[in-house]
């Protein structure tokens, strides 16, 4: 609990004292209810069995700001937790999981609405055993995709888009504290990581540990990987996540009555100006 507390507390403080910058809309609790064999760069000794009482303890610490949670559906008690959190209005994503197809489908029918970074930290798709990835692709849930060219081959990005459609894929960065910083050694929670050529890995065993991808580079990669027009791909970073999180009434599109959160791009698809709540918070003055 102390480790998660150390993460929740500063987020809570930042939400209580917003700066003239991007707003934090809620907390994604990616753990501790994950499968040990698919923990990725998560420290195994901090993983916990799905536990509603423990989640509620986290939620009290976060002042009710946990809005999104990743759960491994095969863990003991996970399906009951998914049902209850869905009833409470928490958005549930399945991932960091070795769940088989049937268990994953049961989680989806119980209220799971997304798959955390599809294909990464989950049991692989096999034609005899579709597993969690097959259930995610076949169903109507959203699929997160890390479009850095490392976590997913460009062909897989195209395949996910073809299977899910442009309205069911969410481009995420999964980025860590080293994003935007030089190569070198950093910390990811309690783990030491090394970034080489922008690729972040655990020093201990070389496991990939998040990314150094920025959102604008995710968009550039999507354009490069798919050959699609920018206007087709923008919803993967705007309307789709807003819809998943249930905030599309005020976020995710340029429309009368919605929050004036805008990013202006130049002809090379670089960020020129960022507007938050109608105020300019960044301008490229080069």
Q: Which residues are tagged catalytic?
A: 174
Residues 6+ apart with CB under 8 A from 57: 1
How far is Cα 177 from Cα 188, in angstroms, rounded to an integer?
7
Q: What are phi and psi of 273, to 5 degrees?
A: -145, 140
Beta bridge partners of 201: 194, 208
Dist. CA 20–CA 120, nearest whole Å: 34
- 8 A C-beta contact, residue 89 and residue 65: no
Q: Tell me the C-alpha distance between 146 and 166, whole Å.
A: 15
């Amino acid at each position: 609990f102390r480790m998660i507390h150390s993460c929740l507390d500063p987020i809570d403080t930042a939400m209580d004292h917003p700066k003239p910058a991007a707003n934090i809309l809620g907390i994604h609790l990616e753990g501790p209810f994950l499968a040990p064999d698919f923990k990725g760069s998560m420290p195994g000794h901090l993983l916990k069995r799905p536990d509603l009482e423990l989640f509620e303890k986290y939620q009290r610490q976060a002042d009710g700001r946990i809005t999104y949670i990743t759960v491994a559906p095969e863990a003991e008690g996970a399906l009951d937790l998914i049902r209850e959190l869905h009833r409470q209005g928490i958005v549930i994503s399945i991932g960091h999981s070795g769940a088989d197809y049937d268990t994953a489908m049961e989680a989806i029918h119980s209220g799971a609405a997304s798959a955390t970074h599809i294909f990464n930290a989950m049991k692989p798709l096999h034609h005899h055993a579709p597993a969690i990835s097959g259930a995610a692709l076949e169903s109507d849930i959203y699929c997160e995709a890390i479009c850095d060219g490392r976590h997913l081959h460009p062909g897989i990005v195209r395949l996910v888009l073809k299977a899910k459609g442009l309205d069911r894929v969410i481009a995420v960065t999964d980025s860590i504290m080293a994003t935007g910083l030089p190569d070198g050694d950093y910390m990811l929670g309690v783990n030491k990581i090394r970034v080489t050529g922008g690729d972040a890995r655990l020093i201990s065993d070389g496991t990939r540990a998040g990314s150094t991808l920025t959102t604008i580079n995710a968009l550039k990669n999507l354009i490069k990987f798919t050959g699609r027009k920018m206007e087709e791909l923008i919803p993967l970073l705007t309307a789709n996540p807003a819809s998943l999180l249930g905030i599309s009434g005020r976020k995710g599109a340029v429309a009368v009555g919605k929050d004036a959160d805008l990013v202006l791009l130049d002809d090379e698809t670089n960020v020129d100006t960022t507007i938050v709540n109608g105020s300019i918070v960044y301008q490229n003055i080069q």
